[in-house]
A and B are shown apart, each in its own frame.
Chain A
């Protein structure tokens, strides 16, 4: 198989951080990879998917992060070297098995990639998962460049195999999505499988076992401290009595901020690439050499507090600075922020840069939007028509969260993956009736349990499953609802209606996503019913239909009557292919995908063959 990521040792390639993670895992001889996709982690499993034919490893898109981690933990018990990838909030889903598998240990070796998102570029929170490494008691690596993404993934996997302890590889959005040169190392055969030896006294954590394993886990982590003390990822450079300890992407910001500092005035720097267990001996030595020290870490002040505690225990007279001034726990750091903190540490004046130009006043915004031809828009349009503000809309995680935007306004609350049905059930007990929207991938992820609960506890909720046949938001990854033809021989398609009926729902109906008449009729029928009702809205994601299924509709909509009714459709359906012209509305044929929802919504629109005038 010919693939960039299978290139030979000594080659240097420009890689995305996430692509470099894939190469690093191959260089360690990874045997099994599981994941649930989520920005900013998604290109890691996508890379493995593109390499599946190499036969070097077993790979799967699991249905959620807990399942992904459990599946990999099982494989690691069975002796395989495993990598599990997810975004930061996915680790919350996987936390239950995680916090016990560090007790049992995993002889084959397991690395958990946690892709954090400080600044919430594409997430509902900016939690700092280095806390999970501490909580679970796992060694933790924090790369800051594409090269380190490769090198640390390899090192983390090798450490996991050698120590038998699960290891965290913690990245942040900037690292996942930066691109830089990567020098390839040798590509070995896949790692040998470590034969499983039955040991219920270790692997079945009943209380008597768990109490013992807690001590074993702590001792194992302590043994790894020697690795951290000697790790090439923990480096000291420079001299003098002013110090900086930096971790993660802050190391890159520090490097660039130092470009502006006279070499004579540069501080002593401790780069903490392997950040847990802390290399306390090396840090003690560092702190004995400096009078004042600045800690650079995005998110929570974890290293800062650990160093303060260490300095206190050792009675070191070092002043430790961290979260103050421009360096906050919120969002991301930047080179100018780090430069400013650094210059103040060094007692240097900041040369005032020429001020940036002001932002031009009142430019039109460009919020992300549902695509032209997206069937979610069609379902939301029908829902708003039938329910208006008489119901409350419980949303979930996926493209359809964008239903919150006017004029559709079909998202009133949201917590996390799969919460729409369960949170909607609870809400409806005390408030207005609830319509819950959930996508196919999210339904399989964790909507299922909420649905079972709603049936079991006789909740009243109308669930609309927006089945676009793929995991659209993150780039069209497979899920169990996908067509068998697309899934191929290694996966089995699950029929959503059968699953819903199997959960005990008796009121179930299907509708084509573009079929307004059917959508409206079903919603009107079910509006005043009680209990759990499910409408499955089926239409492939329009981008997926075009790119993967190679479907084209061959028709375009046009405004046959340029009247007020057309303008009203512009105001209520708000398809991105519409444009206002004078007092009415036109359809941009370059953007129209031929879904014909507007034709059903208003007599002013008609269909014609593509290319006809």
Chain B
């Protein structure tokens, strides 16, 4: 298979982005793609930045350097903005509009960018992008953290991944306990729906 895709995922410790990374990597395997994925643990767990990667199509290195990511999945808005240098010019991005304020912001010493700044910074580099509130979608699905799955569903539905949401659904059913699976399948569906209108807006613009 000639298709290659380098996916850079970013979020905040405790958010569950590594679980989402594994889910995505398993879906790619289920679809028959060659996969290598990477993550950095350690200090990052204590509320720091958590970055991970999924590389499809025959790469062996689990790393992605600046300018190399064909797709950025940002599970938190500030971290999506910070990850923009990783995005290959013309690549795709799916970003949460939700912020988790870092300590400096909570203390009132630093200011968060406006979500419009995030959007503008991403769109300046990305060929196409999607923004959605994963907190809202997760809450509707039953558990805030399932919003991560909604974001993956949106990325599939938008055509940014080589497979559709049904592959993710299959992996969720196979690997999660029934109760969690139910919530995550709901989140997946909500993500898929959210991708529709977002995409139309993109095309109109």
Q: Which residues of A pack against B, CB within 8 Å?
A: 14, 39-40, 42, 121-122, 144-145, 173-174, 177-181, 249, 251-253, 255-256, 259, 334-336, 353-360, 363-371, 399, 402, 570-571, 574, 576, 578-580
Contact = CB atoms under 8 A, between A and B. Distances in A.
B63 A174 contact: yes
Most buried by A among B26, B45, B101, B105: B45
A33 B34 CA distance: 32
B113 A580 contact: no
B61 interface: yes
B205 to A, nearest CB: 20
A335 B65 contact: yes
A368 B13 contact: yes
Nearest to B76: A366
A568 to B, nearest CB: 12
Given A364-B111, A571-B107, 10 more contacts: A14-B35, A40-B41, A122-B40, A145-B36, A174-B62, A181-B34, A334-B61, A334-B63, A364-B104, A580-B108
Q: Chain A binding site: helix, strand, loop or mixed by DSSP?
A: loop
Interface stretch (B79-87, B162-170, B191-199): B79-87
Given A181-B29, A335-B63, A579-B106, A369 B35 contact: no
Given A14-B29, A178-B36, A354-B89, A256 B59 contact: yes
Contacts of A259: 58-59
Nearest to B34: A181
B38 A364 contact: no
A38 to B, nearest CB: 10
B47 A368 contact: yes
B134 interface: no
B41 A122 contact: yes
B12 to A, nearest CB: 7
A178 B58 CA distance: 14
Interface residues of B, number: 56
B89 A364 contact: no
Contacts of A336: 65
B106 A578 contact: yes
Given A174-B38, A178-B36, A252 B60 contact: yes
Contacts of B43: 121-122, 368
A359 B38 contact: no
A178 B37 contact: yes
B5 interface: no
Nearest to B113: A363
Contacts of A334: 61, 63, 65
Given A252-B60, A335-B61, A402 B85 contact: no
A359 B82 contact: yes
Contacts of A365: 102, 104, 110
A194 B12 CA distance: 50
B136 interface: no
Given A256-B61, A364-B105, A371 B82 contact: no
Interface in B87-142: 87-89, 101-108, 110-113, 121, 124-125
B2 to A, nearest CB: 11
A366 B48 contact: yes
Contact of A357 (B65, B87, B102): B87
Given A14-B25, A14-B26, A357-B89, A366 B63 contact: no
Interface in B44-61: 44-49, 58-61
Contacts of A251: 60
B5 to A, nearest CB: 14
B30 to A, nearest CB: 10
B103 A576 contact: yes
B29 A369 contact: no
Question: Of B65, B82, B106, which is in contact with the most chain A CB atoms at under 10 Å from its CB?
Answer: B106
23 contacts: A40-B41, A122-B43, A174-B38, A174-B61, A177-B38, A177-B62, A178-B37, A178-B38, A179-B36, A180-B35, A259-B59, A336-B65, A356-B67, A360-B82, A360-B84, A364-B110, A365-B110, A366-B48, A368-B43, A368-B44, A369-B46, A369-B48, A574-B103
A336 B37 CA distance: 18
A39 B35 CA distance: 24
Contact of B101 (A252, A255, A363, A579): A579
Q: Which 7 residue pairs of A and B lie closest in terms of their CB atoms, listed nearest first?
A: A122-B42, A356-B67, A580-B108, A368-B48, A252-B60, A364-B110, A356-B66
A249 to B, nearest CB: 7
Nearest to B55: A256
B49 A366 contact: yes
A605 B113 CA distance: 30
Contacts of B67: 353-357
Contacts of B37: 14, 178-180
B85 A39 contact: no
Nearest to A250: B61
Contact of B22 (A179, A358, A359, A579): A179
Given A39-B41, A173-B40, A580-B108, A363 B82 contact: yes
Contacts of B46: 368-371, 399, 402
A75 B38 CA distance: 35
Contact of B61 (A173, A252, A368, A579): A252
A334 B35 CA distance: 18
A539 B102 CA distance: 25
Nearest to B87: A357
A369 B48 CA distance: 7
Given A336-B65, A367-B103, A402-B46, A144 B60 contact: yes
A179 B105 CA distance: 34
B38 A363 contact: no
A353 B113 CA distance: 29
Contacts of A122: 40-43
B78 interface: yes
Contacts of B81: 360, 363
A145 B38 CA distance: 11
B38 A179 contact: yes
